[in-house]
Amino acid sequence: MLLENSSWMDIERYLQNDDRIILITGATEQHAYLSLLTDVRIPQHMAEIAGYQEQVLVAPPLNFGISPMFTTFPGTISLNQDTFNGVLTEVVQSLLGQGFAGFFILNGHSGNHLPPQLDDIRMDGHARIVWYDWWRSAAVRSFEAEHNLRLDHANWGENFPFTRLGPVPADEKPMVNLGYVETGQSIRAVLGDGNFGGPYQIDDNRMNELLTRCVNDIAEHLRALKR
């Protein structure tokens, strides 16, 4: 169930039986040969499948995150920490006042973190809030171990059919160590195409397997969030 396909009356009826909602946070930033909205498309795709499966409402994504590292790449749009925290907190507060209390925040960008204001709301018991970084999940960690792979920025792990815009290199890029960036040297100069290293792609059947594992893990968390 998508918020964008609902009327306010639909939501009022939904709240009579369920107080859970999936919020999606991501970023608009460079991902080498993949979409600038990769960090949104992945969690949104997972949220829509898991939300349909568990009959949990899915809100429109927050398309912008904290991405100052990549602003030299055209197309990247970055918020500062206070703006991100403020927007996400106000979104939750708006919904909280309407009767929502179970918030599953499905995050797609490593620069985003749970705002301290929301952590306070959670700690005070005013809402049940789960922050979920999909790429750090147990589902992804087990997949990496089984296939001897490491998911990193713009490499195979984010190269789904729905993030891919066109041809992607078939080879492997040496891992980039950003800890050795010299003073005055730009991140863009170090990264080149923007990929952090590793295989650019793996077989789509394996990527579908990864997607399924992540969706199943998310569904389990959603069931645990039910009042």
Whole-number pLDDT of residue 177 = 84
CB count within 10 Å of CB 142 equals 12
Write down the pTM of the prediction: 0.96
Whole-number pLDDT of residue 214 = 98
Structure tokens at 68: 């100052």
Whole-number pLDDT of residue 182 = 66
Whole-number pLDDT of residue 184 = 67
Helix/strand/coil for 78: strand
Structure tokens at 26: 């991501």
Enumerate residue ranges in the chain where pLDDT < 50.
none
Whole-number pLDDT of residue 210 = 98
Whole-number pLDDT of residue 183 = 67
Q: Which fold has domain 3-225?
A: Rossmann fold (3.40.50)
What's the CA gap between 40 and 210, in Å, rounded?
17
Whole-number pLDDT of residue 178 = 82
Whole-number pLDDT of residue 186 = 83
Q: Where are the domains of the chain?
A: 3-225
Whole-number pLDDT of residue 59 = 98
